[in-house]
Amino acid sequence: MAAPTVSASLNASTYSPGDPMTLTLSYGDPDTRPVTVTIVVTDAQGNSSAPVSVTAVIDPLTVTVSDDSGRTWTRISDTGAVAVYRAVA
């Protein structure tokens, strides 16, 4: 099992009160892979159901964002590799 990686960047270093703030995260883990499992049910007579498929993520990552000033960061988007959060200055 490999360790995850993450980097974080803000869209500015100084904000005026009330300004929108944008935080962009890039994260990943070599173990994190999507897999698709396809299931077919077959009875004793040999009748098979239509296949159904489900997806799962092996070794999923949990992202937490905290702010020591108590500011609330809200997730705007997340591709699984890049996540964008917003807060108000």
Check if the beta carbon of residue 58 is closer than 8 Å to that of residue 32: yes
41 binds another protein (CB under 8 A): no
- Please identify which residue in 33, 49, 67, 75 interacts with another protein, judged by CB under 8 A: 67
Binding-site size, another protein (CB under 8 A)? 39
13 binds another protein (CB under 8 A): yes
- Provide the minimum distance between the beta carbon of 44 and another protein in the complex, in angstroms, as a whole number: 38
- Name residue 82's beta-bridge partners: 26
- Name residue 87's beta-bridge partners: 21
Structure tokens at 17: 């009160």
What amino acid occupies position 44? A
3-state secondary structure of 72: coil
Footprint of another protein (CB under 8 A): 1-10, 12-19, 21, 23, 25, 27, 29, 31-32, 59-69, 71, 73, 89
